[in-house]
Amino acid sequence: MKYIIQFEIIIAISLIGELLNRIIPLPIPASIYGMAILYIALCTGAIKLSSVKETGKFLIYIMPMMFIPAAVGLIETWEAMQEFLTAIIVISLASTVLVMAAAGHITQIIIKHKGKEEKR
């Protein structure tokens, strides 16, 4: 029963993210809204980590299976993608490097910020 309640909390937050995606006319995916809401709720204590921890671990554990439908879709559209393959590879590599650089930079900022807080 505990897992069902945890899953319901996560689904409710995802639903709120979907609603925000429909209401706010920004090109931000609903999942990003949902993750931001969950993050804020966890940071403010509105939701306790123990309220979603086990189900969150389970969802992370099965995450590779969630990529199977996308992989099948790529295989099915292979012929249409072949003419754009060079562009797809260049864009994928460039976006990967940008995301890694941004994530590293943000991580360094957070580590420096936490170091300053610990010194106080």
Residues 58 and 100 in one domain: no
The span from the first CA to the last CA of the chain, in angstroms, equals 43
Q: pLDDT at position 81, please?
A: 87
Work out whether the CA dihedral 29, 17, 13, 34 comes out positive or negative.
positive
Contact (Cβ atoms closer than 8 angstroms) between residue 57 and residue 36: no
| DSSP count for the chain of H helices, then E strands | 7, 0
Contact (Cβ atoms closer than 8 angstroms) between residue 47 and residue 9: yes
| Band of pLDDT at residue 13, cut at 50, 70 and 90 | very high
Q: pLDDT at position 56, please?
A: 92
Enter the tokens of residue 103. 């994530």
Number of domains in the chain: 2
Query: Where on the phi/psi map is residue 47: left (φ > 0), alpha (ψ -120 to 50), or beta?
Result: beta
Contact (Cβ atoms closer than 8 angstroms) between residue 34 and residue 16: yes
Residues 56 and 80 in one domain: no
Domain enclosing residue 42, as ranges: 1-66
Residues 88 and 117 in one domain: yes
H/E stretch holding 96 reads helix 85-119
Residues 44 and 74 in one domain: no
**Average confidence (pLDDT) over 78-107:** 94
Q: pLDDT at position 78, please?
A: 87
Residues 45 and 82 in one domain: no
More confident: 87 or 118: 87
